[in-house]
Structure 1
Amino acid sequence: MTGRILIDLFTTLDGVAQGPGGVGEDTSGGFTFSGWQAGYPSSGVGPEIAKGMEGLDALLLGRRTYDIFAAYWPQHTDGPSGEIGQLFDRVPKYVATRDPDFPLAWQGSSRVGADLAAEIADLRERHREVHVIGSIDFVHTLLAEGLFDQLNLWVYPILLGAGKKVFRDDALPSVLELIEKPVTDAEGVTLLRYGRTDRTPEVDTFED
């Protein structure tokens, strides 16, 4: 059975996905709200993340997210987040970089990016669920080239205005399919799970 590429993103209501997890995580472009997700505690995100990680058997990450994960998760394999820490530490990690000198010190890490379409096809053959977490710059490439199977969005009721958006103007025109009913917690954070289809948007005119 061919595996799937799943993109997992935290986003604001106006589509900003930059630097959600911590102050200083991503301040590029003068972004002043890095850490916005950590500043808005959510009762439902944790359980849904744990549920979504059950099938994960590989990670595909951009360079910035890889550096953050490599510095954090190997030291957090115990405690409340220990199960996810152990999972991330154990599974293969694929890093999107063409820099041969980019350090890959975290165990099980290797690089991709020389021929991304072919490498994605290979990952689908080798793994059942490859998760792309965060990595917004890399996600833009996957969305532009249609190299994903499922898009999971945790949408927070926050407006930031400026910041890197989930969808840029070069996203591949596509019709996505809602594959599960939305889940909303007490804080208004909503999880949307979309599957990619081969359909493209059609146009028409409403008639009186």
Structure 2
Amino acid sequence: MQEFITLDGVVQGPGGADEDRDGGFALGGWAMDFDREHDLADEGGPIIAEWESRTEALLLGRRTYDIWAGAWGVWSEDAEGTTGEFTRRYNRVPKHVASTTASELAWQNSHLLGPDVPGAVARLREEPGGEIRVWGSSVLVRTLAAHDLVDEYRLMVYPIVLGTGKRLFPEGFARTALRPVETRGLASGVVVSTYRRQD
């Protein structure tokens, strides 16, 4: 599971103003705005590229899927740099989507998980292959955590307090014991931390 997250735990709408306006959230794009102003050396880019090089499947909530399908799903695979690299990878890998309302998915290699999301994810974890990546999808993450189905949390913690918005670990989140694996501070002030569940 990978997230852009604020100091006060907000994960809502990091990428754009209209990404997720639920609850009247008007601070969308906070991570990208911060990066444009403070991450002038693009330290975060290579970290994400390394993470994504291991992605063999995507596991997404419906809202995140719709955002990604409207971006990575339509962008050119011939684009330069990481945009083209990620587009090629995301088009190739299977996308597993948790949704109670969708009946079909247009983006290639996309599959609905069905009504038993924890059971479907547990079966996916038993299949051979590399990492199954979750980006965003805070409601899905909560469901997965409640069934002990998240192996690793990769957090890019931004030195921002928003005071409002959906949080990664809201009230009622499943009690989870984690061990720190790596912490790295970037010149921008972002702290990249990786935690794994304790076995």
Structure 2 partner of 1:150: 152
Identity, % of aligned positions = 43
Give CA deviations for 1:26-68 in whole Å, capped at 9, x if unaligned.
0110111011111111322111000111211000001111111
2:154 corresponds to 1:165: no
The alignment partner of 1:155 has SS state of: strand
* Alignment partner of 1:38 out of 32, 45, 53: 32
Q: Is 1:133 the counterpart of 2:135 in the alignment?
A: yes
Residues 178/24 of structure 1: CA separation in 2 closer, same or farther (3 Å cut)? same
Aligned residue number for residue 122 of structure 1: 123
Aligned-CA RMSD value: 1.3
CA contact (8 A) 1:44 1:184 kept: no
Of 12, 17, 42, the residue aligned with 1:18 is: 12
Report the secondary structure of 2:140's partner residue.
helix
Whole-angstrom distance in 1 between the partners of 2:28 and 2:159:
16
The whole-number CA distance in structure 2 between the counterparts of 1:76 and 1:15 is: 33
Long gaps (5+) in structure 1:
1-6, 199-208
Other-structure match for 2:109: 108
2:68 is the counterpart of 1:69:
yes
Runs of 4+ in 1 over 3 A off after TM superposition: none
Mind listing any 5+ residue stretches in structure 2 that lack a counterpart? none
In the TM superposition, what is the alpha-carbon distance from 1:10 to its structure 2 partner?
A: 0.4
Q: Which has the larger radius of gyration?
A: 1
Verify the 8 A CA contact 1:178 1:192 in the aligned structure 2.
Answer: yes
Separation of aligned partners in 2, 1:11 and 1:50? 18
How far off its partner does 1:140 sit? 2.0
Q: Distance in 2 between matches of 1:18 and 1:168?
A: 12
Deviates more, 1:7-16 or 1:140-149: 140-149
The alignment partner of 1:95 has SS state of strand
Is 1:59 matched with 2:61?
no
Aligned to 2:47: 48
Distance 1:113 1:40 in 2: 37
Deviations 1:142-200 (A, max 9, x none): 223322100111000001001001101221112101122x11111111111010124xx
